[in-house]
Amino acid sequence: MSYAPESIAYHQGEYKPLRDCNVNIMTHALQYGTMVFGGLRGYYDPDSDNVYLFRPDDHMRRLHRSAHIMQMVPPLSEAKMVEVALEITRRNNYRCNVYYRPFIYKDALQLSPRLHDVSDDFAMYSLVLDDYLDTSRGMRTVVSSWRRIDENIIPTRAKVSGGYANSALAKSEAVQHGFDEAIFLDSRGFVSEGSAENIFMVRDGSLITPPVAASVLEGITRRSIIELARLEGIPVVERDIARTELYIADELFFCGTGAQVAWIEEVDRRRIADGQIGPISRRLRDRFKQSVLGKDEQTRHWVRPVFESRVNA
């Protein structure tokens, strides 16, 4: 993932090179973290020579809901935002895996930590991206000394940029101590999620994940994994998970738009089971990989091909 100044982005109502997408240093969102954002993937399939957007309607719906929580008025409809992602892909003529960052932000030039009577704008850029985490091996994780922010502090079901200072503190702490990723506990002391991923545990054949009330993001990939598990006949339970329960899990994995499905080898220097990817994690990861390319019959409605002419050719 790298900055490509010549790539075409969308800003202030027009498509233009990313290098020309700039904001004033007085911008409200820059001062106070008053921005909501999404993360959307496009997967390239060489067999069809097409890029498939993964659940774009769901991503833009969540972005609109995040904006509503933060008293923002989205300048574009959900459908129009999806069209922007499609058009960015076409204008950049991508033949690769792509990450899209759509966001709505308070663009007024004023100093006042408030949400009302502050104007909003929408923008989107894209980056070439394969794996955010190295999914070829297991993740070495640590329970963070930082607690996950509570829903009543900064709404966790809204992807608010200011709230990600919490994630940055946990991520840097983990990496600087020799780990790959952090695991948050919530304010009650139960497992919440990773710094930018939801977490799943397998015990006795059931797939278990913390409830939304544990200050987790209502992840699109999280929902997809739950739906895939049910299609596979795997029991799914949403309940609180204690820290020590992670140590004795049969399997653990992260999921998210960036992480996709990344299995966890170790928590707090304790190996999980035999330290290898488990059978349920592997099944779900493999089926997810088929789903994002539109090759799974039961989940084909999740994806949107960018180049329609290639679908009908």
User: Residue 189: what pLDDT?
Assistant: 98
Q: Is the pLDDT of residue 89 over 90?
A: yes
User: Residue 309: what pLDDT?
Assistant: 56
This prediction's pTM = 0.94
As a whole number, the mean pLDDT across the chain is: 96
What band does 313 get if pLDDT is binned at 50, 70 and 90? very low
Query: Which 8-state DSSP code applies to residue 84?
Result: H
* Catalytic residue flag (residue 289): no
How many whole angstroms separate alpha carbon 269 and alpha carbon 247?
9
Q: Is the pLDDT of residue 166 over 50?
A: yes
95 and 33 housed in the same domain: yes
User: Residue 3: what pLDDT?
Assistant: 74
* Span 28-76, pLDDT tens digits: 999 999 999 999 999 999 999 999 999 999 999 999 999 999 999 999 9
What band does 312 get if pLDDT is binned at 50, 70 and 90? very low
Write out the H or E segment, with its range, that includes residue 32.
helix 28-32
CATH number of the domain enclosing 293:
3.20.10.10
145 and 109 housed in the same domain: no
113 and 148 housed in the same domain: no
> Are the CB atoms for 50 and 44 separated by under 8 Å?
yes
| Burial (0-12, 13-18, 19+ Cβ within 10 Å), 38 | buried
Please give the residue range of the domain that contains residue 26: 8-128
- DSSP E strands, 62-119: 98-106
How many whole angstroms separate alpha carbon 311 and alpha carbon 313?
6
Structural domains counted in the chain: 2
Taking alpha carbons only, the member of 226, 210, 203 closest to residue 284 is 226
* Span 235-294, pLDDT tens digits: 999 999 999 999 999 999 999 998 899 999 999 999 999 999 999 999 999 999 999 999
The catalytically annotated residue of 159, 171, 289, 295 is 159
193 and 110 housed in the same domain: no
Write out the H or E segment, with its range, that includes residue 223.
helix 220-231
113 and 171 housed in the same domain: no
- Contacts of residue 251, defined as CB under 8 A and 6 or more positions apart, other chains included, come to 201, 202, 263, 272, 273, 277, 278, 279, 280, 281
* Identity of the residue numbered 253: F
CATH number of the domain enclosing 26:
3.30.470.10
Per-residue burial over 90-110, b = 16 or more CB atoms within 10 Å of its CB, e = otherwise: eebebeebbbbebbbbbbbee
Q: Is the pLDDT of residue 311 over 80?
A: no
Mean pLDDT of 6-30: 97
User: Residue 132: what pLDDT?
Assistant: 66
> Are the CB atoms for 113 and 239 separated by under 8 Å?
no
108 and 253 housed in the same domain: no
Q: What are phi and psi of 283, to 5 degrees?
A: -60, -45
Taking alpha carbons only, the member of 240, 219, 204 closest to residue 288 is 219
Q: Residue 306 falls within a domain, yes or no? A: no
How many whole angstroms separate alpha carbon 52 and alpha carbon 68?
28
Write out the H or E segment, with its range, that includes residue 182.
strand 181-185
Taking alpha carbons only, the member of 34, 56, 33 closest to residue 43 is 56
* Span 106-156, pLDDT tens digits: 999 999 999 999 999 999 999 998 776 677 789 999 999 999 999 999 999
| Burial (0-12, 13-18, 19+ Cβ within 10 Å), 215 | buried
Q: Give the lowest-confidence range in 3-7, 142-146, 184-188, 210-214.
A: 3-7
Beta-bridge mates of residue 104: 36, 122
Picking from 128, 161, 194, the residue at the C-terminal end of a domain is 128
